Homo-oligomer: A and B are copies of this chain.
C-alpha cells in the first residue's frame, strides 16, 4: 500500500510531517510518498533514522498558502504539494492522500484534478467525533454551505459506507440533524430530505437532535455544510470554554488546586477522548480518490492517526464501496 502525505500542509510544516512519515514507515513497513520541495525534504530527512526504501520524496516546488483562493490553488498552482498529491492518486501511484493544508484548496484541487465519483452531485467533508461510548461521522461539515435535499441523501449514503468500512459499524444508523425529533420538525431542507432518507434503503432512524447525536444514538449524522460546520465549531468552542472555566475555578483556591493536581490524570484521559488528533483527518467523500484533510494545527500524532485511518480506508476498499453504493441508487 502506498499513502501519499503532503509535507507542506500543517501550520508548522514540514516538521510534523517528517516525524509522521518516519514513524509510519517504522510502524507499517509500507512505502510512503512525501510531497514537497525535494531539496528541503531530503536535507531535513537526513536528521532522522529511517529506511530509505520506505520514504520516497516526490518533488513539488510550489507551496499553497492559507490566503490563496481555492480556485487559484487548483488551477494556478499545478506544482503545489496539494496538486501533485491529487495527481498521484489520479495516476494510481498512491492509494490515499493525506494533507493538513488549506481545506478549501484541498477540495478545489480534488474536484479539479480527481473529479467526482460518477453520480455524485456534491462531494462532502465528513468528520468522526466522540460521542457517549463510541464515535459517529457527521457529514457535511463545510464543503457545501447551501444544499438541496438530494445532496443530503447522497451525504447519507457516503457517510453510511464510511461508517461501515472505517468505523466498522454494521448496518449503521443514519440520522438527520434537526431542531426536533418528531418527523415534520426542521427547516424546509430537512423536511424535504426526510422522505428521501426514508426511501433510501439506509437504516434511517429519523431526525436527530444534538443531544441524541452526542448520546451516541446514530452512527451517521447528516446535515448541510453550514449547519455541520456550526455544530462542529460550537462543540469545540464549548469544550474550550468549559475547560478554561474549570481551570480558573480549580486554581482559585488552594484546596481545589490540590484536588486538581490529584485529578490531573483523569482530566488528561478526558482530553485524549475528546482530542480531534485521535480520530485522524476529515475524509472528503464523493471525489474519485481517497483524500483526508487534517487540521492546520495537526502535529505528528494527528498525522500518524490520519495515515492509519487512510490505510484502513484503503484496506476496506472504501473508494469502490462508495462507487457501488452511489451507482446502485442512480
Among A121-158, those with CB < 8 Å from B are 130-132, 142, 145-146
Chain B residues near A131: list those with CB within 8 A.
241
Is A23 an interface residue, CB under 8 A from the partner? no
Contact assessment for B238 and A250 in the assembled complex, using a CB-CB cutoff below 8 Å: no
What would be 6 A-B contacts, judged by CB atoms less than 8 Å apart? A209-B233, A211-B233, A252-B269, A256-B262, A258-B259, A260-B263
A263's contact among B146, B210, B259, by CB below 8 Å, is which?
A: B259
> Chain A 262-292, CB within 8 Å of chain B: the 1/0 string?
1111110110011000000000000000000
- B contact residues around A187 at 8 Å (CB): 145-146, 224, 226
Q: Is the interface of A mostly helix, strand, loop or mixed?
A: helix
A256 / chain B contacts, CB cutoff of 8 Å: 262-266
Contacts of A259 in B (CB 8 A): 258-264, 266
Asked if residues A262 and B255 are in contact (CB atoms below 8 Å), the reply is yes
Inter-subunit contact A266/B260 (CB<8 Å):
yes
Q: Does A44 contact B (CB under 8 A)?
A: no
Q: How big is chain A's contact interface, by range?
A: 35 or more
Q: A222-235: contact bitstring with B at CB < 8 Å (1 yes, 0 no)?
A: 00111101110111
Q: A146-B187, A249-B267 are in contact. List 16 more A-B contacts (CB 8 A).
A: A132-B241, A142-B179, A187-B224, A187-B226, A214-B234, A234-B234, A235-B237, A238-B242, A242-B242, A242-B270, A242-B274, A246-B246, A256-B266, A259-B261, A259-B263, A259-B266
If A244-B132, A253-B265 touch, whether A237 touches B260 (CB-CB below 8 Å) is: no
Q: Which residues of B contact A241 (CB under 8 A)?
A: 130-132, 214-215
Q: Which chain B positions have C-beta within 8 A of A244?
A: 132
A239 to chain B, nearest CB (A): 6
